[in-house]
């Protein structure tokens, strides 16, 4: 953008200030082409060969992501799962992985099933307990430590800097799923992480209309090159229009996430006082077990996600979700609309999620309206 070093908020709002040179348009065009012209001598001097490897529409969101996370490089993928699994597929059979017990259930199930069948050795640990992490590390064999903080849907908080130190001491890399924290509040690479993953479907896009994932690297090393190659070989690329929409979404990332976070804090305090709520899980609450660490590594807010445990168990929780009028009963998170979900029904057997838990994704509606709607639904149970 030139001149002084602009803040991350300004970089996001202007999408790095890119302008289309021919027309002067302040929004970059979509490039739907799947193939590119060779030069007369059969070379590709323009740098583009085929859309499965690259597309001009990827350039802007990847550059913006690298800038926001303060990484050396970024890649966009067809989904969060495509991005996350690429980190593990870039390892080799026999490598050892340590992953969080509390994390996105779809990835946890993939690690416990396919990844083990493929040849990775996978251990799950409570990442709040760094001594447990240290005990599971195998120096020289552990290649990747995977954490998610705050961890979905119990919102466990992991100390990124200490986890990175332990991983590096064992010769492993640290990857952080920072989907919920977003670069608005946490930048894991500056705390020692090697890779940051986002389900870009969620807060980065923010409008529930794009399926996308992203990885950002601290360094373009041999491991990162393997991930780049995997994206090409597996074809897990985002579409050009989706890349365009992702950039559009990231331009409002900061005001959306800050609004959702402020509302989540207000809702968390209100739910603590509700007689039908047994417990509120939110790292922004001073009494939350992870609050102190969250306050250190989440600058300016604690995110828009929280969970409540409903008195009366599973039946009462499901009944409360059935009675809301404003909250939408739907999977996902990070959109402008607020969502409510009984996670136990989704995650099934083996999940660490209590059956009385409702997961709340707070949008950008008026917090008082959301509180009134949820309170009324709980009161009817």
* DSSP line for 52-96: TT--HHHHHHHHHHHHHHT-SEEEEESSHHHHHHHHHHTS-TT-E
Model pTM score: 0.96
Residues 241 and 260 in one domain: no
The domain that holds 225 is classified in CATH as 3.40.640.10
Please check whether residue 3 lies inside any domain of the structure: no
- Residues paired with residue 123 on neighbouring β-strands, in sequence order: 98
Residues 24 and 68 in one domain: yes
Question: Is 177 designated active site?
Answer: yes
Please check whether residue 49 lies inside any domain of the structure: yes
What pLDDT, on a 0 to 100 scale, did the predictor assign at position 51?
A: 87
* Count of structural domains, the chain: 2
Domain housing 17? 8-250
Residues 240 and 324 in one domain: no
Instruction: Give the span between the Cα atoms of 12 and 16, in whole angstroms.
Output: 7
What pLDDT, on a 0 to 100 scale, did the predictor assign at position 46?
A: 85
Residues 78 and 105 in one domain: yes
Residues 279 and 202 in one domain: no
Pick the last residue of a domain from 250, 272, 301.
250
What pLDDT, on a 0 to 100 scale, did the predictor assign at position 2?
A: 58
Q: Which residues have C-beta within 8 Å of that of residue 160, sequence separation ≥ 6?
A: 147, 149, 174, 176, 186, 188, 191, 192, 193, 297
The domain that holds 345 is classified in CATH as 3.90.1150.10
Please give the full DSSP string across 161-204, using - where no structure is assigned.
HHHHHHHHHTT-EEEEE-TTTHHHH--GGGGT-SEEEE-TTTTT
Q: Which of 73, 177, 194, 356 is catalytic?
A: 177
Q: Which of 11, 73, 104, 203 is catalytic?
A: 104
Instruction: Give the span between the Cα atoms of 313 and 43, in whole angstroms.
Output: 65
Pick the last residue of a domain from 250, 281, 301.
250
Residues 226 and 278 in one domain: no
Please check whether residue 1 lies inside any domain of the structure: no
Question: Is 104 designated active site?
Answer: yes
| Alpha carbon separation from 164 to 1, 148, 218 (Å, rounded) | 32, 13, 13
Question: Is 52 designated active site?
Answer: yes
Helix (H, G, I), strand (E, B) or coil at 35: strand
Pick the last residue of a domain from 232, 250, 268.
250
Please check whether residue 2 lies inside any domain of the structure: no
Residues 289 and 189 in one domain: no
pLDDT, tens only, 95-121: 999 999 999 999 999 999 999 999 999
What pLDDT, on a 0 to 100 scale, did the predictor assign at position 350?
A: 79
* Positions in the chain short of pLDDT 50: none
Please give the biggest Cα pair distance in the chain. Answer: 76
pLDDT, tens only, 290-327: 999 999 999 999 999 999 999 999 999 999 999 999 99
Residues 94 and 178 in one domain: yes
Residues 299 and 236 in one domain: no
Dihedral through CA 17, CA 21, CA 25, CA 27, nearest 10?
-50
How many CB atoms are located within 10 Å of the residue 262 CB? 17
What pLDDT, on a 0 to 100 scale, did the predictor assign at position 43?
A: 86
Q: Which of 11, 128, 187, 202 is catalytic?
A: 202
Residues 258 and 238 in one domain: no
Residues 176 and 30 in one domain: yes
Residues 259 and 234 in one domain: no
């Amino acid at each position: 953008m030139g001149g002084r070093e602009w803040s991350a908020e300004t970089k996001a709002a202007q999408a790095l200030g890119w302008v289309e040179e021919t027309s002067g348009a302040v929004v970059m065009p979509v490039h739907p082409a799947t193939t590119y012209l060779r030069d007369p001598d059969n070379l590709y001097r323009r740098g583009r060969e085929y859309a499965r490897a690259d597309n001009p529409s990827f350039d802007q969101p990847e550059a913006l992501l690298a800038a926001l996370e303060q990484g050396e490089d970024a890649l966009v993928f067809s989904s969060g799962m495509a991005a996350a699994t690429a980190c593990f597929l870039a390892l080799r059979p026999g490598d050892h992985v340590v992953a969080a017990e509390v994390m996105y259930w779809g990835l946890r199930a993939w690690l416990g099933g396919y990844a083990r069948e493929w040849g990775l050795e996978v251990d799950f640990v409570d990442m709040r307990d760094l001594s447990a992490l240290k005990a599971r590390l195998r120096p020289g064999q552990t290649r990747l430590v995977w954490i998610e903080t705050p961890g979905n849907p119990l919102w466990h908080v992991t100390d990124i800097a200490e986890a990175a130190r332990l991983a590096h001491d064992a010769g492993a890399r640290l990857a952080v799923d920072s989907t919920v924290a977003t670069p608005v509040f946490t930048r894991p690479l500056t705390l020692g992480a090697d890779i940051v993953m986002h389900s870009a479907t969620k807060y980065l896009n923010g409008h529930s209309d794009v399926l996308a994932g992203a990885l950002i690297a601290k360094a373009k090393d041999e491991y990162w090159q393997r991930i780049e190659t995997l994206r090409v070989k597996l074809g897990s690329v985002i579409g050009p229009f989706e890349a365009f929409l992702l950039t559009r979404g990231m331009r409002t990332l900061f005001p959306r996430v800050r609004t959702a976070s402020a509302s989540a804090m207000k809702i968390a305090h209100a739910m603590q006082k509700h007689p039908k709520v047994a417990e509120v899980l939110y790292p922004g609450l001073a009494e939350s077990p992870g609050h102190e660490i969250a306050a250190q590594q989440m600058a300016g807010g604690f995110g828009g996600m929280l969970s409540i445990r409903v008195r009366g168990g599973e039946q009462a929780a499901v009944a409360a979700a059935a009675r809301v009028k404003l909250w939408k009963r739907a999977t996902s998170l990070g959109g402008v609309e607020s969502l409510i979900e009984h996670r136990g029904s989704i995650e099934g057997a083996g999940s660490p999620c209590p059956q009385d838990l409702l997961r709340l994704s707070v949008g950008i509606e008026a917090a008082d309206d959301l509180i009134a709607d949820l309170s009324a639904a709980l009161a009817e149970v």
